[in-house]
Structure formats: C-alpha cells, structure tokens
Structure 1
Amino acid sequence: MTPEQIHKLITEGEFPEFSSGRELIETHISWVILCDEFVYKIKKPIRYSFLDFHSLEKRKFFCERELELNKRFAKDIYLEVLPIYEVNGTLKIGEHRGSLVDYTLKMRKLDPDKRLDKLLRRGEVSADDIKSLALWVADFHNKSAVIREKNILDVGVKFNDLTTQKELISTGLGEARARIIDWSVEVSDMFLQKNEALLTERLKAGFYRDCHGDLHARNIFMLPAPQPFDCLEFNDDYRQMDVLNEIAFLCMDLDAFEEHSLSDLCIQHYNLYFPAIRTTEERDLFEYYKAYRANVRAKVNSLRAGSESDMDKKEKMLAETQKYLGMMEGYLQALTIA
C-alpha cells in the first residue's frame, strides 16, 4: 500500500467491525492502525539489507510468519491475517472480491497504559513485577527451539557497524564521542577473540535459541502478568541468538530508565530458572551483550538524527545517541580483557 491508500483506508475504508475512531502509528517498516478493540498492522513495501517487504507475496508471507511466531507466547493477541481489497473505489479489510491491494495482521488491542515503558516512566514497576517478567522470559527460553548452527562471531560484525555513524556523531556530539566508537570496536574485537571458545561451547551446550529478538520495555505489557508481543519476524538471524543476548537487551533497557536495581534483579531472577551465567567469564559476556545492545540503540538514534529535519527532534535523538554511547562505554569498561 501507499501512504495515500493508508490515509484513504483510515478515513473511508471498511473494517470488519465498527470503531468510534482510528489512529495511525507509523514505524520505519509498518503502518499500525488502532481501533476500539483491535489493531491492524500493514507492512510497508520496502527493502533493506536486513528485510524485504517489497512484493505483495513477501508481505503476505511475513504477515503469516509474524502471526506464527507470536502465537508462541501471545496467541490471544495475534488473531489472523486478512486481505485488503479495493471494491468500487473503497478499501475493505477482510473482503475477498475486487482488486487485491495488500494484507494486514489483525491483533487484539491491549491497554496502552499497561505497557512496561510507560509504567517505568511513572515509577509503577515493582520488584515482584520484574521477578514475574524474568520468570516468564526464562520459561519462554526453556521452551524455545535450540539453534545448533550459528556464526558466533557475527555479533562483532553487527557491533562494528557503529563505525558508519562516526562522521555524524563527530559533527553532532563532538570528536570525543566519535573516538569512543574506535575504542569500543577495538575492545569488542579483543573480547570476542578472547572468548571465541566460550561462545563455541555455549552454542554446543544449547544456549542459542529461537528467541523473541526484540525484547525491550515497549514490547511488553504488564496486565499485571507479563505479556510480551511483537517479536522479530523479518530476519531469523536477528532472532536466533544466545539467550544472554536477549535478556541483556531487557536489562540494558531497564538501565536506560535508571532502574539499575530492577535490572540487576531481572538477571539474578532469570538465572535462577535458566542458569545461563555459570562463571565469571559468562558474567562478562552478559555485560558485553548489554554493551552490544546499547551500541545498536546508539546507532539507531544516530541514523534517525541524520534523517531528521526538525531541529528539536534531531537534538533529542542526538541526546539519546550520547546516552547510549555512554552506557556502551560503561559496560565495556567493566569487562576483563587481559
């Protein structure tokens, strides 16, 4: 679909049920339409190095893939994939006649005030909430498919991609911040070289699983029981990882909200039910994965800043970039390299 068709669908289109209003949320890869009771997600016709939604057939495939993967843990939220047809100039979801335009994933709408990032901002997340969430993640990982083949050093390649942002970061934040990138890449390379045998052993031991892939506060509801959603469907490689890499993302996100005690509690409680940290070397690996996740957040915010024309928004994104660069630096400084 095109942006014009999305506007037409929201203002004039026919949906399977009545809704008093329709709200559009746009991400870099999807359009999400919020109705009274349900949510409709439509993939943009785009192609990047890491995803391909360019053709109608691929968008249908990845809608179905997203439904399948999220039903592992959110079957009451993810409902069905529906076609969108144009009939006599009217766009209709769930219709089966006329001209096929696209596909949409239908989901049940949850209370937005119960999303974990909003609860964290309001200071409404307790230690018991985090224990419950850590237990949920451990149980999910225990049930997830084991991955036996994986390029264990690919995380280093992804880490080093931050160098593509050096020029923008130097211009926006100063050369001192940009120099941290070169230093971090050197530390990352040294750490992975030192721990290649450990990563190989963890792969053989079954610590690499088919995970969620994007497990952070915005993708979790507390109702009050934990309800993660929106797992990564468009690239298996980004979802199939060391379980420590996944839980590190969540803990890094808690750190970003300045909830360090909750972050520490999360990994401690997780490790009780899925003992993924057994040694001091694996404790270092957990810190490295947190650095990697902060690295990715820094890169994403830098990319957004580079394409933003609104100066206020650009400054906020650069501030976020600086925050995550600082977090990455702190995690890496805690590592044992020698």
Structure 2
Amino acid sequence: MTKNQIDELISEGVFPEPTEHRKLLETHISWVILCDRFVYKIKKPIKYSFLDFSTLERRKHFYERELVLNRRYSGNIYLGVLPIYEFQGQFIIGGDEGRVVEYALKMSKLDPEKQMDVLVSQNKVSNLDIVNLARYIADFHEHAKIIYDTSGIDIGQEFNDLAGARSFLTENLGSEYGDRIDSALKASGTFLRKNKKLLEDRLKMEFYRDVHGDLHTRNIFLLPDPQPFDCIEFNDKYRQIDVLNEVAFLCMDLDALDRNDLSELFIEQYNRHFPAIRNDKDKNLFIYYKAYRANVRAKVNSLRANSASNSADRKRALSEVKRYFELMEDYLCSLK
C-alpha cells in the first residue's frame, strides 16, 4: 500500500471491530494504526540492503514470521495476520470480498504509558523492575534455540554499513563526518581482528541464540511484569546473535537515556542468571557490542532523516544521528 492508501484506510476503511480512534504511527519500515483495543501493523513496500518487503508475497511471508517469532515470549499480544481487501472503492481489513492488496498484523493494544522508554523518561523505572526484566530476558535466552552455523565476525560487515550514509551525513551534518566514519570503521576492524578467536569460541560455547534482535526500551512494556515485543523477523542474521549483542542494545539505550545506573544493574543481574560475561575479554566485547548498537541507531536515524516528509522530522532524526554517533565513538575509545 501507499501512504495515501493508508490515510484512506484510516479515514474511510472498514476494520474488524468498531473503534472511535484510529491513530497512525510511522516507522522507517512500517505503518502502525492504533485503534481503541487493537493495533494493526502494515509493512511498507520497500527494499534496503538488510530487508526486502518489495512484493506482497514477501510481505505476507514476513507477517507470518513476525507472528510466530513474537509468540515465543509475548503471550496473547500477537493475534493473527489479516488480509486487506479493496472492494467497491473501499479498503477492508479482514473478510473475504474483493481483491487482496495487503496484509496486516493484528495485535492487542497495551497501555502506552507502560512502555519502558516512557517510564524511564518519567523516572518511574525501579531497580526491582530492572531485576525482573533481567531475569525474564535471561530465562528467554537460556531456552532460546542455539545457533551453530554463523560467524560472529560478520558483525564487521554490518558495522561497516554505516559507510553507506557517508554522503548524506557529510552533506547534512558536516564534512568531518567522513573522517569520523573512517575512524569508527577502522577501530571496529582492529578490534574484530584482535578478537576473532574470542568470537569463534563464544559460538562454540553456545552463546549464539535465536533471540529478539531489537531489544531496547521502546520494545518493552513494564505492566509491571516485563513484556518485550516486536522482534526482528525480516533478517535472521540480526536475530541469531551472541546474547551479549542482544543485551548490549538495551544497555546502550539506557546509557543514551542517561540512565547508566539502570544499564549497569541490568547487565549485572542478567549475568547472574545467564553468565555471558566470564572475564575481561567478554567485558570488552560487551562494550564493542554497545558501540555496534549505537552505530545501528545512527544508521537507522540517517535513513529516517533521508526519507522524512517534513523538515521537523528530518531535524529530529539528524539530532538522533549525532547523539548515537557520539555514543558510538565513546564506546570505541574505551575499548582495550
């Protein structure tokens, strides 16, 4: 579907149940429609180096993957995949009349005030919340599928994807970003060459699992029991990773929110339940993974800025690029 068709669906379309409110949230890869009791997520028909939603068949496949993968830990949030029909000039979610033009993932609507990033901003996340979350994620990781056929060194290629944003960032944030990208990529390459055996050993020691892949505060509710959602379905290699890479994202996010105390408490408690940091080399790897995660957020916000429909959204996304870029550099400078 196009953005104009999404707007038409929201204003005039037929939904499976009555709803007074229909609010659109947009990410760089999806449209999310918030109704009174349910949420409908629709994938954009896009193709990037890391995902391909370019055809209806591919999008349907990934809707179904998203449903199965998220049901591993999300209880009754993920309800099903529904077709969207065009019938007599109107878009209809569900039913069986007309031509299928898209699909939507139906989810239960949770209290937005209980989303972790909101609670952190209001200083409402307690140490007990973090202890419970660490235990929940550690238990999920402990029972997650073990991955044996991947290479941790591939993360270098993913880190280097930031180079693709060079021309956009130098044009919009200054020419110095070219040199800063080069320095970051060099530091990453040096670290990975020095620690190739460590990555290989961690694969053999079963630290690579099929996990969430996108674990940060905006993808967690505290109800007060922890409730992660919205894992990565579009690219297995982003989800089948070292568990330290997974929790590094959450800890980096907390660092970015100026809650280093919660970040440190989480990794301490997580490691108590699932000992993924065994020595100083692992601690150093954890810092590298945080740098990688800051790198990813800088890249994603660069994409968001590049596709922004107005100057205000573009400015906000560029501000986020700068913040995560600086955090990435701080982590890289602290590597030993």
What TM-score do you get using the length of structure 1 for normalisation? Answer: 0.94
Q: Report the Cα distance in structure 2 between the residues aligned to 1:317 and 1:5, rounded to whole angstroms.
A: 25
Larger displacement relative to structure 2 (325-334 or 311-320): 311-320
Q: Which residue of 1 aligns with 2:145?
A: 145
Residue by residue over 1:7-50, the C-alpha shift from the partner in whole angstroms, topping out at 9 and shown as x without a partner, is 22212222111111111112222221111000111112222222
Larger displacement relative to structure 2 (198-207 or 55-64): 55-64
Change (3 A) 1:47 1:195: same
Say whether the 8 Å CA contact 2:38–2:106 is kept in structure 1: yes
Q: Which residue of 1 aligns with 2:189?
A: 189
Q: Which residue of 2 aligns with 1:96?
A: 96
Residue by residue over 1:207-247, the C-alpha shift from the partner in whole angstroms, topping out at 9 and shown as x without a partner, is 00001011111111010111000001011111110000000
Q: Report the Cα distance in structure 1 between the residues aligned to 2:265 and 2:174, rounded to whole angstroms.
A: 35
Q: Report the Cα distance in structure 2 between the residues aligned to 1:85 and 1:18, rounded to whole angstroms.
A: 18
Tell me the secondary structure at the aligned position of residue 105 of structure 2: strand
Q: Report the Cα distance in structure 2 between the residues aligned to 1:321 and 1:26, rounded to whole angstroms.
A: 18
Larger displacement relative to structure 2 (281-290 or 71-80): 71-80
* Length, aligned pairs only: 336
Instruction: State percent identity of aligned pairs.
Output: 57
Larger displacement relative to structure 2 (245-254 or 94-103): 94-103
Tell me the secondary structure at the aligned position of residue 233 of structure 1: coil
The letter of the residue matching 2:64 is E
Q: CA deviation at 1:131?
A: 1.0
Q: CA deviation at 1:163?
A: 2.3
Q: Report the Cα distance in structure 2 between the residues aligned to 1:324 and 1:133, rounded to whole angstroms.
A: 24
The letter of the residue matching 2:182 is D
Q: Report the Cα distance in structure 2 between the residues aligned to 1:56 and 1:170, rounded to whole angstroms.
A: 35
Tell me the secondary structure at the aligned position of residue 152 of structure 2: coil
Say whether the 8 Å CA contact 2:28–2:304 is kept in structure 1: no
**Gaps (5+ residues) in structure 2?**
none
Tell me the secondary structure at the aligned position of residue 272 of structure 2: helix
Q: CA deviation at 1:335?
A: 1.1
Tell me the secondary structure at the aligned position of residue 317 of structure 1: helix
Q: Which residue of 1 aligns with 2:226?
A: 226
The letter of the residue matching 1:24 is L
Measured on the aligned residues, the alpha-carbon RMSD in Å equals 1.6
Q: CA deviation at 1:299?
A: 2.0
Tell me the secondary structure at the aligned position of residue 14 of structure 1: coil
Change (3 A) 1:169 1:82: closer
Q: CA deviation at 1:281?
A: 0.2
Tell me the secondary structure at the aligned position of residue 82 of structure 1: strand
Tell me the secondary structure at the aligned position of residue 153 of structure 1: helix
Say whether the 8 Å CA contact 2:28–2:303 is kept in structure 1: no
Say whether the 8 Å CA contact 2:151–2:200 is kept in structure 1: no
Q: CA deviation at 1:113?
A: 0.7
Q: CA deviation at 1:133?
A: 0.9
Map 1:101-140; keep pairs closer than 5 Å: 101-140=101-140
Q: CA deviation at 1:333?
A: 1.6
Change (3 A) 1:279 1:317: same
Q: CA deviation at 1:310?
A: 4.1
**Gaps (5+ residues) in structure 1?**
none
The letter of the residue matching 1:73 is Y
Q: Report the Cα distance in structure 2 between the residues aligned to 1:41 and 1:305, rounded to whole angstroms.
A: 22
Change (3 A) 1:305 1:3: closer
Q: CA deviation at 1:305?
A: 3.2
Q: CA deviation at 1:250?
A: 0.2
The letter of the residue matching 1:186 is K
